[in-house]
Amino acid sequence: MSAVELLRAELTRAARGLGATDPIETVLDRPRDPAFGDWTTNLAMVLAKPLGMKPRDLARALIAQGDWTRAGVRIAEVAGPGFINFRLETAAVAGRIPEILQAGAAYGRSETGKRTAVVVEFVSANPTGPLHVGHGRQAALGDAVAALLEWTGWAVSREFYYNDAGVQIEKLAASVHARIVEDAGGGLQIPDGGYHGEYIGEIAEQYTAGHPGDRHGRDTDRVREFAVAALRAEQDQDLKAFGVRFDTYYLESSLYTDGLVDETVQALRDGGDTYENDGALWLRTTAFGDDKDRVMRKSDGTFTYFVPDIAYHVTKWRRGFRRAINVQGSDHHSTVTRVRAGLQALRIGIPEGYPEYVLHQLVTVVRGGEDVKLSKRAGSYVTVRDLIDDVGRDAVRYFFLMRRADSQLSFDVDLARTQSEENPVYYVQMAHARMSGIFRVGGIDAAGITGEGVAIDLLSEADELELINALADFPAAVQAAADALEPHRMTTYLHDTAELAHRWYHRHHVLGEAPALTAARLTLARAAQIVLGNGLTLLGISAPERM
């Protein structure tokens, strides 16, 4: 048992001794101020009412009741309105280091997900243009959520769903066709709602060059397929540049060709929540919490996008994914209730909260203090490629992950690039590089540091114990971020931990101290290097050994 578990067990035992009845929920937190100790509990305040005692009196009684030395406690004291603060023996704090060294690159991983299959769907951009900054935020978020779930023991599949058959694709094809006609000497007629970016002209040129026999783009199927392939290839390049890989690309068109759309419609009818009205087929989604019923099949006989959406999520369930997480822009939030309602109407045992959603707010790009709204190639929006080329992949990832998904994000290009000295991503990377530098300069193999035979209780300075506590909290930080599906908790954790590492590095020397002290501090430097490196790697950000 770790020191915390021993402490919790002893607290619970003490509470029982004073007459508290089960269940006793004993919560141990890190105090706000490290000067208060290593751990704190509000147990006395929680139990004050049921036990009919004043919180501070109860806290004193709890302290008197427990055997604290067994849990490695040096000082237990009452503070504030009734907190009990615990200061552990130095050896109990420093004793956490060997497990970090031993786990190495796996430190922070757990098996709480029990290898259960979960699909994380993100980006899912239609192949009608280059990826924009919103897709970039989604790529960073989705990839990080997937990684968090992997780290906590889920069997994760990253999935990209794309619409290769709808109205938007026809508009893309018509837009490219218009450019081909223009290149061949005809007038330019881009259709209503068509695409105007420069990339359309580039694709038209490539098509003409590759298809000399069809200078006027009369083979519309071929033009469409060419355009879709070209844009998919470009999106793939962008994602590759961003370091994101998908396990599956799911084509919307396959839902039709495989008969899943028809099957879903039939299943919904069998479920009994459909009705015909005004020549259309409706689903009574209001029976499942929606604010209005939804049309499934329009009076012209075609389906609304909502039907393949349901069919698609049925495939996720059928493919064995007991959790499905969708990362989407909050402009799609109205589909949440709708999709869930559709799945419930099927009555096939899909849980009510399926799928889960991580919705993110829009991204604005700021450069020189002003909003940037256009890119050269795409015309109407800023592309993720623009950002990567500008500030680098690590900074783009970090900046997209720094904030909660549901807060609007202002991406300051100047901060991410020009003022690289004050850049938060470099701050964390630098802390890692400094730890690495100690081993490089000392000519020491970092991976060979095991802590065996080292007097780690020589690590007794207040700021090194504080750093050790932070490092020991890494697995809990990963777990909390994964449970909440909130990657920004990791950037916050990493920044805080990097600060402690920088401070420790600045105040204390590792190399050249008395041999026993140097050996002890090397274990801490190695532990910090492992945690910072693992955290950055988890988020898809490089952890350089030198900068």
Residue 494: strand, helix, or coil: helix
Interface positions, 285-304, toward RNA (CB under 7 A): 291-292, 294-295, 298-300, 302, 304
Quick one: tokens of 344?
């419930």
Residue 278 tokens, joined: 């005004």
Give dist(CA 8, CA 40) in Å, integer. Answer: 11
Task: Write down how long the chain is.
Answer: 547
3-class DSSP state of 123:
coil
Find the shortest distance in angstroms from Cβ 254 to RNA.
Answer: 14
The interface with RNA within residues 168-187 (CB under 7 A) comprises 168
Site for RNA in 234-263 (CB under 7 A): none
Task: List phi, psi (to 5°) of 363.
Answer: -110, 135
| DSSP secondary structure letters along 380-440 | SS-BHHHHHHHH-HHHHHHHHHSS-TTS-EEEEHHHHTTTGGG-HHHHHHHHHHHHHHHHH
Nearer to RNA, 180 or 227 (CB): 227
Site pattern 305..324 for RNA (x: CB under 7 A): xx------------------
- Residue spans of beta strands (DSSP E) within 167-273: 248-251
Q: How many CA atoms lie within 13 A of 216 on its CB side?
A: 4
Q: Is 534 in the site for RNA (CB under 7 A)?
A: no
Of residues 27-86, those binding RNA (CB under 7 A): 29-33, 36, 40, 42, 45-46, 48-49, 55, 79-83, 85
CB 82 within 8 A of CB 42: yes
> Would you count residue 419 as binding RNA (CB under 7 A)?
yes
Q: Rounded to the nearest whole angstrom, what is the least distance from the CB of residue 463 to RNA in the complex?
A: 8
Q: Is 519 in the site for RNA (CB under 7 A)?
A: no
**Tokens, residue 435:** 């730890």
Residues 138 and 409 sit within 8 Å (Cβ to Cβ): no
Report the Cα 444 to chain-centroid distance in Å.
35
Please check whether residue 532 is in contact with residue 544, taking contact to mean a CB–CB distance below 8 angstroms: no
Is 331 an interacting residue with respect to RNA (CB under 7 A)? yes
User: Is the Cα dihedral 405, 411, 416, 421 positive or negative?
Assistant: negative
Question: Contact region for RNA (CB under 7 A) — 147-155, 184-192, 253-261, 420-428?
Answer: 420-428
- CB contact set of 141 (below 8 Å; sequence gap of 6+): 122, 327, 358, 360, 400, 401, 405, 487
Give the total of residues touching RNA (CB under 7 A): 95
Is residue 86 a contact partner of residue 40, using CB atoms and an 8 Å limit?
Answer: yes
CB 250 within 8 A of CB 162: yes
> Which range, of 63-71, 87-95, 254-262, 356-364, touches RNA by CB under 7 A?
356-364
In terms of CB distance, is 180 or 384 closer to RNA?
A: 384
Which residue among 17, 191, 279, 289 contacts RNA (CB under 7 A)? 279
Q: Least distance to RNA from the beta carbon of 201, Å?
A: 24
Under the criterion CB under 7 A, does residue 264 sit at the interface with RNA? Answer: no
Q: What is the largest CA-CA distance in the chain?
A: 94
List binders of RNA among 490-509 (CB under 7 A): 492, 495, 499, 502-503, 505-509
Of the candidate residues 511, 517, 537, 542, the single one contacting RNA (CB under 7 A): 511
| Residue 184 beta carbon to RNA: minimum distance, rounded to whole angstroms | 30
Is 381 an interacting residue with respect to RNA (CB under 7 A)? no
By CB under 7 A, name the one of 16, 218, 240, 333 that touches RNA.
333
Q: Is 543 helix (H, G, I), strand (E, B) or coil?
A: coil
Q: In this structure, are strands 280-283 and 363-367 parallel, antiparallel, or unpaired?
A: unpaired
CB of 500 to RNA, least distance (A): 9
Which residues 196-235 are close enough to bind RNA by CB under 7 A? none
From 214-222, 314-322, 378-386, 478-486, span contacting RNA (CB under 7 A): 478-486
Stretch that binds RNA, among 5-13, 66-74, 129-137, 160-168 (CB under 7 A): 160-168
Taking CB under 7 A as the criterion, the residue among 172, 430, 458, 471 binding RNA is: 430
Nearest distance from C-beta of residue 439 to RNA, angstroms: 8
